[in-house]
Amino acid sequence: MKREPSPPIPHDRTPPEATAPETAATEAAPADPAPGRRPRRPRLRRRLAAGLAGVLALAVGGTAGLLWFAAGRLVRPMDDTPLNTYIVASAPGTVTLPATADSRYPGTFGLIWQDKETDRRHHGTLGPVLASDDDTVTRELTADTLPAPRAEAKVIVTVWNSDPGRALGLDHQDVTYPGELGPMPAWFLPGTGTTWVIQVHGLGAGRAAGLRTMSQLHDLGHPVFDITYRNDPGAPRDSSNTRHFGDTEWRDLDAVVLDSPALDYRATLDTIVGGLGLPAPVAALQAGILGLRSDVDLDDIDALAANRRTGGPQQPVLLFHGTGDTVVPYATSAEFARDWPDKVRLVTVEGASHTGAWNADPIAYAEELAAFLARHT
């Protein structure tokens, strides 16, 4: 873990004075083609043009349709996490996966897989790499059931998928707190200190994402409040039942420790589109579609620009980000830290994936978090 200081398009119109005069009636007309013969080249050109126009229309329509579908996935209250790998083999305490950047990366991660017979998804915890070659990686696996070979799977950053008691043995309370739309569910862990830590999650995640740091915070004596917000499962829904990328959700929370934050959603879309090998204009089109589906102008939730307008964050910020993030560009966090070096401490984690800083090095993460809390609480 590396630590750093903190024109419009003119109308194609011909002016009236430039209009060609009507042809005089006495002007010789072009000779007609020979009887029985038709001019082929103009007709061929027209056919080719029509064909190309049709192909282009299909391509544009198909692309727009795919982007509309993709935007729909992004604005769902919870992501169903598309699976992108499979189980090669498993045994008690171990699992073998195809060799990929995700399966090879050291640290502690979650593993989800889908049972083909029941269509149910299971969750386990991936531990250290035990063996690897050019084709496969074998890691420790803690799970209630073994995954079957060829089951679809995915390595994820959410290590546990339960509550604080079952996952960590921590006494907690299932509580609610008042929100604009009604009671909001939360987990509360009492503590000996007076400074509360409010934990929140990102797109596609849930409260269980906060379990990664909960034991440490509890040991430090902080009361911990791990919350939901509108449109989460079990929480009140607004009329849209879609994500608004913080444009409305901010009223349900406020935070100062950030992990892989989407400070500029247009830059985030550029990163996602680029990672898929699609041309850059697709990102602009996707941004427009996403705005339509979520009823949010992405410029209104540009945190980088907003902070420059308002003079920067009003509170100290601890910011974790991995250089291997293929969802939210690391460069935006680096830019945020450069803008406000007196307010923002950026902790760079080489090679870590999106929100994977803790998974890559829990000890170093804990040290930074503890030092930040000690300075500002």
- pTM for this prediction: 0.67
More confident residue, 299 or 5: 299
Q: Say what the pLDDT of residue 33 is.
A: 46
Domains 85-156 and 164-376 share a fold: no
Name the token pair of 251: 């009223």
Q: What is the pLDDT of residue 280?
A: 79
- The ranges assigned to domains in the chain are 85-156, 164-376
Tens of pLDDT, residues 339-355: 999 999 999 999 999 99
Q: Classify domain 85-156 by CATH number.
A: 2.40.30
| Better pLDDT: 60 or 358 | 358
Instruction: Work out the pLDDT band at 359, boundaries 50, 70, 90.
Output: very high
The pLDDT score that the predictor gives to residue 136 is 98
Report the pLDDT value the prediction gives residue 130, as an integer from 0 to 100.
97
pLDDT one-digit tens code per residue, 227-281: 887 667 666 676 665 554 555 444 445 476 889 988 888 888 888 878 878 787 8
Q: By C-alpha distance, which of 137, 25, 65 is closest to 285?
A: 65
Radius of gyration of the chain, Cα coordinates, nearest whole angstrom: 28
pLDDT > 70 fraction of the chain, expressed in percent and rounded? 70
What is the pLDDT, as a whole number, of residue 35?
A: 47
The answer to whether residue 23 scores a pLDDT higher than 60 is: no
| Higher pLDDT among residues 9 and 243, named by residue | 243
Which of 111, 194, 121, 125 has its CA nearest to residue 156?
111
- The residue ranking higher by pLDDT, 330 or 81, is 330
Cα–Cα distances in angstroms (integers) from residue 377 to residues 49, 256, 358, 370, in the given order: 69, 12, 22, 10
8 Å CB contact between 153 and 95:
no
Least confident of 34-38, 300-304, 318-322: 34-38
Please report the pLDDT score of residue 42 as a whole number.
59
The two tokens of residue 376 are 């500002």
Burial (Cβ within 10 Å: 0-12, 13-18, ≥19) of residue 362 = middle
For range 52-58, the mean pLDDT: 49
Q: Which CATH number fits domain 164-376: 3.40.50.1820, 3.40.50.10090, 3.40.50.1980, 3.40.50.620?
A: 3.40.50.1820
pLDDT for 66: 53
Dihedral sign for Cα atoms in the order 231, 233, 235, 236 = positive
Axis-axis angle for helices 303-310, 330-339 (nearest 10): 10
What are the pLDDT digits (tens) for 158-209?
A: 999 899 999 999 999 999 887 777 888 899 999 999 888 888 877 667 888 8
pLDDT of residue 350: 95
Check: CB of residue 349 under 8 Å from CB of residue 3: no
Give the per-residue pLDDT at 69. 46
Average pLDDT, the chain: 79
Which pLDDT score is estimated for 26? Answer: 37
pLDDT tens-place string over residues 96-142: 999 999 999 999 999 999 998 898 999 999 999 999 999 999 999 99
Looking at 25-29, 123-127, 229-233, 370-374, which range is the least confident one? Answer: 25-29
What is the distance between the terminal CA atoms of the chain, rounded to a whole angstrom? 24
Give the pairing of strands 2-3 and 136-142. unpaired
| Structure confidence at residue 365 (pLDDT) | 95
Q: Which of 12-21, 50-59, 106-115, 286-295 has the highest mean pLDDT?
A: 106-115
CA 104 to chain CA centroid, Å, is 21
Please give the pLDDT value at position 89: 97
Q: Stretch 276-292: mean pLDDT, rounded? A: 76
**Confidence band of 217 (pLDDT split at 50, 70, 90):** very high
